Amino acid sequence: MSQPKRELPQKFIEKLRKIVPVNQWEKVLKTFATERPTTFRVNTLKAQASSLKERLEPQGFKVENVPWYQDAFILRKGKRKDLEKTDLYQKGEIYVQGLSSMVPPLVLSPQPGQAVLDLTAAPGSKTTQLAALMKNQGRILANDNNPIRVEKLKANAALQGATSVQVLPPGDSGLVWKEHFEKFDRVLLDAPCSSEGRFQLDEPSTYGYWKEDTNRKMAKDQRRLFKSAFLSLKPGGVMVYSTCTFAPEENEMVLGWALETYEGAVESEDISTPLPAHTRGLAAWEDLKFAPTVVKSVRVLPTPDMEGFFVAKLRKLKSVPAPEPFIPSSEGIK
């Protein structure tokens, strides 16, 4: 019996066609039927990228450097399951992670000694990357609401030697600001999203849940999380908002809402990126025009090696009033 023809949701394709530049459309469409290679980064808290190839290639692996991130590699020969059996992996010297997922921490660019919040952190890919970028100097508070994922986050932080990471007990990320109002120099909000950048045609589970109202429903939670992230950020601090989805409802519209809600207290900043395939944020969507600075955001277009992603960088210009009723905590990060 023949297998039914697999197709991505038609409404999704129609929306995506309005987002992707015409000259990139065919390339982007093909990526949904392409199996991406395993990618990973070297954990610089324990190892050096310069010696990676000479350690892996004698074991039968072939790896390729990523031009825009010296600590990242693409596995061109060998299987992920075999890579995970190596001492490098078992000792936490490397971390398997999608290339697009590595972009938000790089854009956030946390510095050693800073206080950083990773608001929806599990299972810890970006949290441990932040710790490595900061050389374990400073403090990273990591939060997630799922108990099982929190345990995975703790295990990954321990394996990676990320001693600067403190993992909060499972809890509502939308309420974190109440204990940490304007306490952080940097905040990362890699928000839960509709995950359109991860759709794979041969895996219906990656897109079977998608409906026309999925983006709108996700955006409601994203705005709530954005509020928590922004209220946790110090005046003068930098925040990165990212998703692994294409939808303007979850990207530019959330960003536009934030710029309007906190007008005068936040500005969108340019993102300098050498990524091979990306566009700037949309200036408008259908009948809605966004604030001019929304176009400073970046939409990473999917390639055979990278998933689709969206990244925005914002700076908090001044303190904002806390929602009432609220009593600020006098305690710092424990």
Peptide bond into 9 cis (omega under 30): no
Assigned token pair, 121: 């952190």
244 is catalytic: yes
Nearest Cα neighbor of 266 from 296, 310, 303, 246 is 296
Residue 244 DSSP symbol: S
Q: By CB neighbour count within 10 A (0-12 exposed, 13-18 middle, 19+ buried), where does 299 fall?
A: buried
- The per-residue DSSP string of 130-158 comes to HHHHTTT-SEEEE--S-HHHHHHHHHHHH
List Cβ neighbours of 26 (8 Å cut-off, separation of 6 or more): none
Catalytic residue among 218, 244, 259, 314: 244
Neighbouring CB atoms inside 10 A of 50's CB total 10
Residue type, 96: V
- The per-residue DSSP string of 261-328 comes to HTTTTEEEE------SSEEEPPSEETTEEPPGGGGGSEEEPP-SS---EEEEEEEE-S--PPPSS---
Q: To which H or E segment does residue 89 belong?
A: helix 87-90
Is the Cα torsion angle 85, 90, 93, 95 positive or negative in sign? positive
The catalytic site residues sit at 244
